[in-house]
Amino acid sequence: MSEANVGGGGSLSGRLALVTGGGTGIGRQFAETLAGLGAEVVVCGRRREPLEETARELSDAGHQARAMAADITEEADCRRLATELPNLDILVNNAGGGRLGPWQDVTPEEWRAVFALNLDAPFRLSQLFVPSMVQRGWGRVVNVASVYGMLVGNPFFYPDFDWDSPAYVTSKHGLIGLTKYLAVRTGGTGVTVNVISPGMFPDTEANRDRSSAESRRRLSTFTPVGCTGNVEDLSSALAFLVAPESGFVTGHNVVVDGGWSLW
């Protein structure tokens, strides 16, 4: 747990931030990063226990943090978040997921469920929160996509299972497109909209069970820096995009992948 800026100092002092999927993995790291920069942080997600654990540890470290259980694929929960956080300054659309399976076998219900989480929810939360940011003249929206929002997964890197996740790949492509669209629509208002695309992070909760030793070896070998990433590697990208000094940066896809997508 970060001890930076204990007591509320830092470049984001006085700012209120929401991190979806903030109880575990990358979302938890993002919550720690924002709290360390002085923001008051709200973590939301479906599972109350990890949310409360994250908020408690941040609070114990001297930061302002709280947990809000919410299913962002449900309209009522999205509206509740907007009602309870009317002065939100920073929205981090981190929650996401996908399902493995042959593309021919994906049902309409499975397809829509992935899109509801990965693409529909970030759009709806942006609809609910961004207008008030525009009115106040300052705001930061950071969406979390993936290198597979630019590429399509190569089965070579996943020798122990059939890597096929059509809804995930397609929805993450869409999220990058949504980011660019909203950046144009909010240009000149003091609100910026950007996206972070993580590369290979096999040690996150979502990926750990899918990453064999051979898979990790192949991924590391084909990454120019020679290794896969840790969630801490994403912190600097987030800190840059939410900083008061980054107001001239909008509509960008910040790829954090050790150069993996270069070849």
Which positions are annotated as active-site residues? 168
First to last CA, the chain: 35
**Cα 88 from Cα 41, distance rounded (Å):** 10
CA–CA distances in Å: residue 136 to residues 86, 133, 140, 263: 11, 5, 12, 43
Q: Where do the H-state alpha helices sit in 72-140?
A: 75-84, 108-115, 121-136
**Cα 253 from Cα 196, distance rounded (Å):** 6
**Cα 1 from Cα 52, distance rounded (Å):** 14
Q: HSE (CB half, 13 Å, CA atoms) of 80?
A: 11
The first and second tokens of residue 95, run together, are 């929650």
